[in-house]
Amino acid sequence: MTAEGGLPGSTGADAPGSSAADAPGGAGRPDRADWPDGAVRPTYRLVAIPGDGVGPDVVAAAKRVLAAAAARFGFAVAWTDLVAGGAAIDAYGVAIRDEDLAACAASEAILLGAVGGPQWDDPKATVRPEQALFAMRGGLGLFANLRPVSVHPALVPASPLRPELLVGVDMLIVRELTGGLYFGARTEATGAPGARAASDTLPYTEPEVARVARLAFDLARGRSRRLTSVDKANVLATSRLWRTVVHEIAAEYPDVVLDDRLVDACAMQIVRAPASFDVLVTENLFGDILSDEASVLAGSLGMLPSASIGERRTPHGLHGLYEPIHGSAPDIAGQDLANPVGTILSAAMLLRWSLGRADAADAVEAAVAAALDDGFRTADLWPHDPAVAEACTRVGTVAMADAIVARIGITGGITGAAA
Ligand code: NAD
């Protein structure tokens, strides 16, 4: 389903997918489990943060799919479940506790649902759910958010775009995640009504631009060697710095074709000719908005996965945080209505990028594709055309996960051993 391209820097012995990292008995790490058949297989230490709203629904679904993949491919997952976001504000008075951030840092990867909801939406509150996201991104050095967008052929009728525009859509949006407006100094509104003022600042440094640009060039190399850099260089000083640095780095990648787009033109092009893009790289706010816009192509916000990564390596890959791009969808929370596919595909990215399990990642992505091919649809994907709908089966979150689990292809032998 998704093609994120090659993993930068993945050529060493500890690279994802290398057999050395998965070899039994390696380095005496506590990441080995004895299985009922007497064999010793790896146990990966993961953190799950269900969060708020539909977060618990979709994370539970993804954990079941991961358990099925573990059973098929002979590994185990040791989960640490943590509370963050609104749930943590209620429980502890903060969006995420320091010790929980430390547990995230100690894990190989984190699977997150979503945080937030109307009960914590007071704009004057000093403690807010999204502080958990910023703390994880900043605290764990996760400076790049990767959002692959492709369109499963069976979901073309669910997209508001004309079918011919969706042919060949396969883009990867690389969003800078720890700089810009989200982390710049701000002043909240002050002054009397009628004369209030507030400000946000948009700072970027050369190293911040350079590291995400290099990552994007590396990713473009693993795909079709085309990179679009998105900025607003006709207006913003930070965008002019962005463009300068990206072009300087381009000299290191003569095999990658670079083009620049202004963000407004890019937003238009994403809906006019989405198949013309391959890898896009952009700053924090532009990436947030463009990737939500691009989600429309895939038929629903509920379809799209994401990975947030930095430079830190773990025994099997890159340390990372994996989450669907949607929010906590309070309107459908706890009703078995949420589409779990974005989270399940995020789990597939986790398998590939942080655990080096391309085998299991491929199987999960193939199982999602097969479930969609076989007509399983959550409410958000339900076709408008009654003739198309006739061939589909309407399912909730749990049954969608069941359909995907059933297509993981457990071939027998090892079952139920994944925690
Ligand atoms: P949202 O993504 O939660 O929901 C937008 C719309 O999409 C809603 O109609 C929702 O029902 C639908 N939707 C979202 N996910 C879906 C899924 N998996 N299946 C089916 N339908 C789905 O965005 P919002 O309504 O703007 O925000 C709700 C809350 O989520 C807010 O508190 C916001 O701050 C928070 N939020 C969190 C994150 C995050 O945790 N990363 C991201 C965005 C928004």
Express each pLDDT in 126-147 by its tens digit.
999 999 999 999 999 999 999 9
Q: Which residues of 137-159 are buried (b: 16+ CB within 10 A; e: fewer)?
A: bbebbbbbbbbbbbbbebbbbbb
Summarised one tens digit per residue, pLDDT across range 172-196 is: 999 999 999 999 999 999 999 999 9
Q: 54 in ligand 1 pocket by Cβ < 6 Å?
A: yes
Distance from residue 140's CA to the centre of ligand 1 (Å): 24
Task: Indicate if the pLDDT at residue 20 is higher than 70.
Answer: no
From the list 343, 352, 308, 315, the residue with the least C-alpha distance to 139 is 308
CA 326 to chain CA centroid, Å, is: 10
Rounded to the nearest angstrom, the distance between the alpha carbon of 322 and the centre of ligand 1 is 16
Nearest CA to ligand 1 atom 34: 116
- All structural domains of the chain, each given as residue ranges with its CATH number in brackets, are 32-145+299-409 (3.40.718.10), 160-180+200-298 (3.40.50)
User: pLDDT of 257-296, one tens digit each?
Assistant: 999 999 999 999 999 999 999 999 999 999 999 998 998 8
DSSP characters for 279-327?
EEEE-HHHHHHHHHHHHGGGT-GGG-EEEEEEEEEETTEEEEEEEESS-
Residue 380 known to be catalytic = no
Confidence at residue 295, expressed as pLDDT on a 0 to 100 scale: 87
Ligand 1 atom with minimal separation from the 343 CA: 18
Instruction: Mark whether 292 is an active-site residue.
Output: yes
Q: What's the average model confidence in pLDDT over 216-232?
A: 97
Q: Does 327 sit in the ligand 1 pocket, CB within 6 Å?
A: yes
- Ligand 1 centroid to Cα of residue 330, in Å, is 7
Record the pTM. 0.88
**How far is it, in rounded angstroms, from Cα 365 to Cα 293?**
23
Percent of residues, the chain, with pLDDT higher than 90: 80
The model's pLDDT over 329-350, given as tens digits with 9 standing for 90+, comes to 999 999 999 999 999 999 999 9
Nearest protein Cα to ligand 1, atom 9: 329
Is the Cα dihedral 348, 214, 6, 76 positive or negative?
Answer: negative
Q: Which helix (H) or strand (E) holds 106?
A: helix 98-106
The rounded percent of the chain whose pLDDT value lies above 70 is 89
Q: Is the pLDDT of residue 325 over 80?
A: yes
